[in-house]
Amino acid sequence: LIAVFVAVFIVSCSIIPQNPKYPVHYYDLGIPSERILFSKYFINEIDAETTTPGGNKMIFRKSANMLEFDEYNRWTQEPDDMLRSYCFLKQQATKEKSEKVTLKITISLFELDIENKTANFAAEYEIKQGKNSLLKNSFLRQTTVENQNATNYAKAMGSNVDSFLAEISEKLSALQ
């Protein structure tokens, strides 16, 4: 009886087609090529959240109302955690000489739009010093991605985040 069960199990496993194994590729925003100075401020804390679905899966917008979550191309972290890490790597200032501020970011768009050939990033942000709000704004950037693949998507998103942080630096400089 056991031999029959084992034989049936082996035969049934060989009849059912197996999904081919595809490697999962992981991407990040890269390492900042240059540092940025946030005026006289030092971003001591970043409170970031993502309101987009998908976790660390890359999101591809196929049409106006259709998203695809890529199982095989993923971010190394969720977008808010990646942005937090990238910002700290990019920041150039010393804690001792700068006024400490908190940056609050809500990411609302982090996707590749296939139809429009753009990598889209949108966020609302606020900079606070203690309980005082110094700056509150929103940001949207769409970077053209001609050859649409995960590598170019990641590069374009890195460029979007660089522009986002450059805008924050400019706005903080204008506060002086």
Residue-wise pLDDT for 133-159, tens only, equals 999 999 999 999 989 899 999 999 999
d(CA 162, CA 160): 5
**Element housing 114 (H / E):** none
Q: How much is the pLDDT for 139?
A: 98
For each of the chain's 176 residues, which pLDDT tens digit applies? 666 555 555 555 545 454 568 899 999 999 988 888 777 888 889 999 999 999 999 999 999 999 999 999 999 999 999 999 999 888 876 656 788 899 999 999 999 999 999 999 999 999 999 999 999 999 999 999 989 899 999 999 999 999 999 999 999 888 86
Cβ contact 126:136 at 8 Å: yes
Dihedral angle at the C-alpha atoms of 148, 150, 154, 157, nearest 10 degrees?
50
Write out the two tokens for 141: 């950037």
pLDDT at residue 153, as a whole number: 96
Helix (H) or strand (E) holding 63: strand 57-63
Segment (H or E) for 143? strand 132-144
Half-sphere exposure of 160 (CA within 13 A, CB side): 29
Report which of 122, 121, 105 is spatially closest to residue 45, judged by C-alpha positions: 105
Residue 4's pLDDT is: 56
Report the distance separating Cα 98 and Cα 150, nearest Å. 38
Q: Are 83 and 48 in contact (CB under 8 A)?
A: yes
